[in-house]
Structure 1
Amino acid sequence: MAQSPTSSAIRALQLELKKIQEEPVEGFRVTLPDDENIFEWCVAIFGPPSTLYEAGYFKALMKFPNDYPYSPPSVRFLTKMWHPNVYESGEVCISILHPPVDDPQSGELPSERWNPTQNVRTILLSIISLLNEPNTSSPANVDASVMFRRWRDSKHKDKEYETIIRKQVSQTKLEAERDGVVVPTTLQEYCVMAAPRPSSQSMDVADFYDDDYYDDDMDDDDDDDNVCYDESDSGHGDS
């Protein structure tokens, strides 16, 4: 039988959401696709200036367990993301999202894993940091890891990795325009406009889902993964 949500989990998430909305942090913003479900959040992550991801607009779905904060949430990119620490499914694989268990085979220290003092801010800031500094020691996407190392070791002369990332960033600009979101492109905008407001219209959280990511390789019967999908719209650490 599935565990029922605890009142402490609901309260913790309500407080975190309120604090993030009142005191935004540079680099991301969050919304609820369903006001009645505090356990699923839509996240917009903005690419940091002076990195390959500059001006990027990346959508992700964050799901919280019923015993949060004692167990970590999961984070899955809905926007296509070619990265050493992101599976092809979009699932983010970093230590901070791994349960606090002693697993010598993982190569992770217990202190690197999830603990109840962590929160949404620390998770998302870790992911933003990871964009520009992947952990390639135990990658979720081996091909992306090999490509990144070639790019890094060649001092950026090997352009294959960079070309893919810049193409994906370019594609997200169209999504930002569709959602009416102004993405920060300079360091000043990125820091001051911690959570950019929609440019001319309020963004419907139902528009958060990126249809291009959902393909035949994913579960068609997993309704929970479609929480950000707008059916009326025509228009993707260590393991």
Structure 2
Amino acid sequence: MAQHGPVHVASSQKALMLEMKSLQEEPVEGFKITLVDEADLYNWEVAIFGPPNTHYEGGYFKARIKFPVDYPYSPPAFRFLTKMWHPNIYENGDVCISILHPPVDDPQSGELPSERWNPTQNVRYTPSQTILLSVISLLNEPNTSSPANVDASVMYRKWRDSKDREYSEIIRKQVLATKAEAERDGVKVPTTLAEYCVRTRAPPPDEGSDLFYDDYYDDEDLEDEDEDDCCYDEDDSGTEES
């Protein structure tokens, strides 16, 4: 088994501190990111708000991202804690998405190498931002060619092809089930595009926290993003017809 030395750990910690700082200063629409444990940079807690005008509108979904010690050279694992019915989410909550698969040549997978993990493939977003955007896009646009949940995939195709309502009804019930948890957590879930696309700057870490040091970062390393850029519009292909 390969051993990961102090250099790998220091490198991955610096990368994760940089990305967490970037996400705090420029949050991704539809997400709330925190650390599971303030002393552990490798485990993130993710709250996902369902995009308006989709099956998931009004939903509050919890997940975890677990990063390896050689990040960003190896991909993290993304697992939903909230029960999800989706073609690309396993029963245990693990997400099956190309961007989280190691960059190896595997013709049997049906995936192109360019679709797999590459920490440098997107110059606009950090790797973690790319993951978040990819996951929320996957929710609304499942990949049914290699499903993790075959039954959900079959049901989704029936909805897509004939507007059979079984798939959308299951999602609707799951969304309703998340409202109680949002209330317990004191979270107001956005339900309109205007609310969803508002970027809210997270509060800075406590002054006594040892997680963030300004000398770890250079301003040149942070990508500027368009404040008005929102990744969803009224004509999204996953919009449910009434």
Shorter-chain TM band? 0.7 to 0.9
Which position in structure 2 is the counterpart of 1:7? 10
Q: Is the aligned partner of 1:87 residue 2:93?
A: no
Name the TM-score, length of structure 2 as normaliser.
0.78
Letter in 2 for 1:49: P
Percent of residue pairs identical: 72
Question: CA separation in 1, counterparts of 2:166 and 2:84?
Answer: 15
Q: Is the CA contact 2:26–2:201 (under 8 Å) kept in the aligned structure 1?
A: no
1:153-164 superposed matches below 5 A? 153-154=161-162, 156=163, 158-164=164-170
> Structure 2 regions of 5+ residues with no counterpart?
204-242
Aligned with 2:47: secondary structure?
A: strand
Q: Is the CA contact 1:26–1:195 (under 8 Å) kept in the aligned structure 2?
A: no
Q: Is the CA contact 1:28–1:195 (under 8 Å) kept in the aligned structure 2?
A: no
Q: Is the aligned partner of 1:134 residue 2:142?
A: yes
Q: Is the CA contact 1:28–1:194 (under 8 Å) kept in the aligned structure 2?
A: no
Which position in structure 1 is the counterpart of 2:178? 172
Over residues 52-80 of structure 1, what are the superposed CA-to-partner deviations in whole Å (9 max), with x where a residue is unaligned? 00011100010000000000000000000
CA drift at 1:195: 7.2
Letter in 2 for 1:134: P
Which position in structure 1 is the counterpart of 2:101? 98
RMSD of aligned residue pairs (Cα, Å): 1.5
Aligned with 1:9: secondary structure?
A: helix
CA drift at 1:25: 1.4
CA drift at 1:29: 1.5
CA drift at 1:193: 4.5
Q: Is the CA contact 1:25–1:194 (under 8 Å) kept in the aligned structure 2?
A: no
Deviating beyond 6 angstroms after TM superposition, the runs of 4 or more aligned structure 1 residues are none
Q: Is the CA contact 1:184–1:196 (under 8 Å) kept in the aligned structure 2?
A: no
Letter in 2 for 1:62: I
Over residues 90-127 of structure 1, what are the superposed CA-to-partner deviations in whole Å (9 max), with x where a residue is unaligned? 00000000000011111100000001226110001001
Q: 1:76 to 1:159 in 2, by over 3 A?
A: same
Which of residues 10, 28, 32 is equivalent to 1:29?
A: 32
Question: CA separation in 1, counterparts of 2:119 and 2:139?
Answer: 24
Letter in 1 for 2:128: V
Which position in structure 2 is the counterpart of 1:187? 193
Aligned length: 195
CA drift at 1:6: 2.0
Name the TM-score, length of structure 1 as normaliser.
0.79
Q: 1:189 to 1:26 in 2, by over 3 A?
A: same
Q: Is the CA contact 2:26–2:199 (under 8 Å) kept in the aligned structure 1?
A: no
Question: CA separation in 1, counterparts of 2:109 and 2:87?
Answer: 17
Question: CA separation in 1, counterparts of 2:201 and 2:84?
Answer: 21
CA drift at 1:196: 9.0
Question: CA separation in 2, counterparts of 1:141 and 1:178?
Answer: 30
> Structure 1 regions of 5+ residues with no counterpart?
198-239
1:25-104 superposed matches below 5 A? 25-104=28-107
CA drift at 1:172: 0.6
Letter in 2 for 1:107: G
Letter in 2 for 1:128: I
CA drift at 1:194: 5.1
Q: 1:194 to 1:113 in 2, by over 3 A?
A: farther
Aligned with 2:87: secondary structure?
A: coil
CA drift at 1:12: 0.2
Over residues 113-148 of structure 1, what are the superposed CA-to-partner deviations in whole Å (9 max), with x where a residue is unaligned? 001226110001001011111000000000000000
1:157-236 superposed matches below 5 A? 158-193=164-199
